[in-house]
Structure 1
């Protein structure tokens, strides 16, 4: 079972007998074992049985409860730019998840474009990366995907929760997408609900009520990811107004493909089809050719993807169809003032 089929099973989209009677019971058993392991690990940190390494500069951790899909990459870029605007030298620390041997992953490729000149250290040992960043002059460290990485101490723990799928289909891995139970949010200093514009008001109100069990109401902000423009591999840009209403073929390899499709539709595109690949997928030449061939057969005007996927190709066209990435910006709504107050205390 590949990752796309796996997501269909745990989300309930796949309802055949094999999913209901074979896969799901087995995944539930594995989730129970995973819960025990996560609980033991967290208790060891809570009871100081495992060492937490602290460094001499502020560390801002940005993470989530689920495996991907909350919008960390554009938010890391927003945080980085916030500190740069205040003349604070920033360094990014990440694990380098699913990078090919000898290469960097898609998130680093995208962040290098969004945050040019900002040092980005990819290493599973984030403590070693922190020491290297300090030696090279960093004044603030941003720990990407750091909520579960408790070995490195942090000054501020920010957690993103996707309003569209906040609890990872209700189960811990592998039956669901939760890395740890929702009660772990008690460790967070601040929670940011993302994609609130894609969530019905009644569901959003229920979600806020659930969150305040773990986090004070004044420590919860909301955010949206707003489409800004289209960009291609040659760094050429198109305004959204110039292409609104166009028929497009889309593809992506991200944690929340449904959110990407909804963003495209809200931006005014007519989406012929969205091809979904596993999160962080590395495209082969044959796969990109297939995308272009199917797009041409569908008689679309454009091929659209995420900027995180765009950096994994060097071709401006597939089978004669122009390929563009959708640039996304972060817009923080309720709670922005308090969040900036917390950040201000860390800037030089």
Structure 2
């Protein structure tokens, strides 16, 4: 599965050449219109009023994207929770709970519990039911609907759409030929667009993305980046990057954009060759066999420490794999421009009463 997902992405992005990849891209192109028709049909029902979004008594802010995974929704949700708490609001989180194994929820739920310990988080495939349960039990005045852009059944007061500057349009095709969940024209529903990883492209490249966004919507467009802040293990111990930079390290991840994680590692002084990085599918649940493979591969490279993401660490739940310590890189969202517009938009959507920051 690990190898197949990586090869699949290599095929759809066009890096794999030859007869077999070309045939596969052709087959996927034949399937693409069917997926697109399904997405357009659902949107048509809501756009024309044949289906009505269901309202709840709290304000709802949706965070989503037009491509599959890896745009940075989880650190953005954490930033918003902190922001609203500082403005004396009571946020709550609702999400689907994709690939949950038990009552503790999926990897995003476990990570957000650590990042936002005072914010209730309900997961349910029925997001309307989850929102109502959250309101009944915790009385939030603003609900953050995680990954909600395509889930139109729950009414929202603001649609925040994240676009990853490293792959803004999912290779230019809708699933399964590309990574778009719907046509990019769906951006016309966005209230505000947040460009993520804007620091990892040139100003010229960022401006092209901005112009592309503006061809679909005239809503505000804000740039951001994810700043690595330090290292932490599952026991809560903290380390600086400089403490480990002289060590031989090995990295692994199971996230939607592993290449962005590698770029983050490089930015703080850990430059890893391909043979020092192991990639698993997004939301992958680590088995004992997986952990053994990580340990064996890392040990063969004389590694003395393991690096992963905070989202991966919560699934492992231990500060060591075998005799090797495991460290997660912590990141936080930083707004690069139009911060006043960004914050004003969020506060206006979250509350009728403007409260001073505490």
Measured against the shorter chain, the TM-score band is over 0.9
Unmatched 5+ residue regions in structure 2? 354-358
Residues of 2 paired with 1:191 and 1:206: CA distance?
A: 14
Match of 2:151 in 1: 149
Superposition misfits of 4+ residues, deviation over 6 angstroms? none
Match of 2:288 in 1: 285
CA deviation after TM superposition for structure 1 residue 12, in Å: 2.1
Q: Is the 8 A contact 2:169 2:179 kept in 1?
A: yes
Match of 1:159 in 2: 161
CA deviation after TM superposition for structure 1 residue 98, in Å: 1.1
The correspondence for 1:327, drawn from 319, 330, 343, is 330
CA deviation after TM superposition for structure 1 residue 124, in Å: 0.8
Q: Does 1:300 align with 2:303?
A: yes
Query: Deviation string for 1:103-122 (max 9, x for gaps)?
Result: 51100000000000211000
Q: Is the 8 A contact 1:61 1:144 kept in 2?
A: yes
Q: Is the 8 A contact 1:245 1:268 kept in 2?
A: no
Q: How many pairs does the alignment contain? A: 346
The 5-angstrom pairing of residues 111-122 of structure 1 reads 111-122=112-123
Q: Is the 8 A contact 2:235 2:318 kept in 1?
A: no
Query: Deviation string for 1:32-51 (max 9, x for gaps)?
Result: 11111111111110001112
The correspondence for 1:315, drawn from 309, 318, 322, is 318
Query: Deviation string for 1:48-74 (max 9, x for gaps)?
Result: 111210112210000000110100000
Match of 2:258 in 1: 257
CA deviation after TM superposition for structure 1 residue 126, in Å: 0.6
CA deviation after TM superposition for structure 1 residue 11, in Å: 1.8
Query: Deviation string for 1:132-184 (max 9, x for gaps)?
Result: 11112111100000000000010011000000000001100011000011111
Residue 230 of structure 1: SS of its match in structure 2? strand
- Relative distance call for 1:263 and 1:245 in structure 2 (3 A) is farther
Q: Is the 8 A contact 1:9 1:24 kept in 2?
A: yes
The 5-angstrom pairing of residues 132-281 of structure 1 reads 132-136=133-137, 137-216=139-218, 219-272=220-273, 273-281=276-284
CA deviation after TM superposition for structure 1 residue 102, in Å: 4.9
Residues of 1 paired with 2:169 and 2:109: CA distance?
A: 27
CA deviation after TM superposition for structure 1 residue 15, in Å: 2.1
Match of 2:356 in 1: none
Residues of 1 paired with 2:33 and 2:100: CA distance?
A: 29
Q: Does 1:9 align with 2:11?
A: yes
CA deviation after TM superposition for structure 1 residue 215, in Å: 2.6
- Relative distance call for 1:333 and 1:108 in structure 2 (3 A) is same
Unmatched 5+ residue regions in structure 1? none
Q: Is the 8 A contact 2:295 2:324 kept in 1?
A: yes
Greater CA drift, 205-214 or 110-119: 205-214
TM-score (norm 1): 0.96
Residue 49 of structure 2: SS of its match in structure 1? coil
CA deviation after TM superposition for structure 1 residue 3, in Å: 2.4
CA deviation after TM superposition for structure 1 residue 264, in Å: 0.6
Residues of 1 paired with 2:231 and 2:148: CA distance?
A: 30
Match of 2:130 in 1: 129
Residues of 1 paired with 2:71 and 2:148: CA distance?
A: 14
Q: Is the 8 A contact 1:10 1:176 kept in 2?
A: yes
CA deviation after TM superposition for structure 1 residue 29, in Å: 1.1
Greater CA drift, 35-44 or 155-164: 35-44
TM-score (norm 2): 0.93
Residues of 1 paired with 2:248 and 2:218: CA distance?
A: 44
Match of 1:110 in 2: 111
